[in-house]
Amino acid sequence: MLLNEELRIEWCNDPARYLLNLRSPQDLGNKINNIIRDPGLQTYLQGDPEGGQIEIESPSDPNVIIQVKKVPLGANRSLLIARNISDHKQLQESLKNFVANASHELRSPLTVIWGHLELLEAEDKISDSGKRSLHTAQRQSERMKELIQNLLLLSQVESYRLAPDEGDKVSITELNNSLLDALEKYDDSDRVRLEFPEHLYLLGIKTEIVGICINLLENAIKYSMPGKPIQAKWGENRRGEYVFSVRDQGSGIEPEEILKLTNRYYRGRRSRAEVAGSGLGLAIVQHAANKHGATLRITSEPGKGSCFSVTFPSYRSLRDEQMIDEAIRLSGYN
């Protein structure tokens, strides 16, 4: 579809007519915002179109999802390209469901295997080589358990974005206790210094926020030498948004790699050879952050270290007093 500088339709082809429910020639000369009343599209069309695109429901059929992209054409015109991506979306959805179902089904047999390995461990008559095999089997089933947990968590955080008032009031002090418990399996977890002010709360889903923090902390441990300090802290920025950050003095990341880190199954070139992992950790962090309306930032200097931070929006960043005010408001005593 060809639009002039006032976003009036100058021309459109047949598929655009069908996908965007346009009548021709009646709609020619009308503003596109008056014809398609999707708030997301309105904002997109007013903004800077460079590189961006948006997905909306087709006005002719809500089951059809279309991707719309605005491309500047000379100084005063733009081309609006709409593409039917419903099949692609459906495929993505069934792939996601498949991974979630398969992970769920794998959990029960693995629990049985794990139980039998524990029984075997209690036997006295196992030879030394038998014990070694047993420990290898235990290590591998532990890895598999973590992989399945990560796949399940990823399919959970990918599902949708929370409404601004959705979630539980999660105490950051309690959340940090869960983090410290989870880090106990590392021999040198005492190099993690976790700082946080008391009486902060987040509105969100606790398991998913723990998922964000634990993945960042485990990465800092995995990708820095034993003994190197790791600084983790909760703070508040000037906009009243709570920020969780983890700073390590590890191997760091090359600038061209940073954008790829949150792709699922992506593993750094060196990490693949040196450290065990699945490439799911930062995908979980990114999706869980998106689901909470939070933003993940990564800065790094190769050879010196990295800093990963997640900023939660102010409407999710609560204080004790806010909870008291809210309780007073609800009780009607204000």
Give least dist CB 104 to ligand ADP, A: 21
Residues of span 264-303 touching ligand ADP by CB under 6 A: 266-268, 271, 277-283
User: Given candidates 22, 261, 289, 294, which one binds ligand ADP under the rule CB under 6 A?
Assistant: 261
- β-strand 200-204 against 77-84: which pairing, if any? unpaired
316 neighbors 292 (Cβ within 8 angstroms):
yes
Q: How far apart are CA 15 and CA 196, in angstroms?
A: 56
Beta carbon nearer to ligand ADP, 167 or 252: 252
Q: Is the dihedral of CA 11, 80, 14, 30 positive or negative?
A: negative
Q: Which of 12, 65, 220, 294 touches ligand ADP (CB under 6 A)?
A: 220
Distance, in Å, from the CA atom of 328 to the CA atom of 109, rounded to the nearest integer, reads 50
Identify which of 268, 224, 262 has the alpha carbon closest to the alpha carbon of residue 246: 224
State yes or no: residue 250 binds ligand ADP (CB under 6 A): yes
**DSSP annotation of 307:** E
Under rule CB under 6 A, how many of the chain's residues touch ligand ADP? 22
Instruction: Report in angstroms how near the CB of residue 286 gets to ligand ADP at its nearest.
Output: 9
141 closest CA partner among 169, 183, 172, 113:
113
* Interaction between residue 204 and ligand ADP (CB under 6 A): no
The CB-of-266 to ligand ADP minimum distance in angstroms stands at 6
In angstroms, what is the minimal distance from the CB of 188 to ligand ADP? 15
Residue 143's identity, in one-letter code, is R
Binding site for ligand ADP (CB under 6 A): 215, 219-220, 222-223, 248, 250-251, 253, 261, 266-268, 271, 277-283, 306
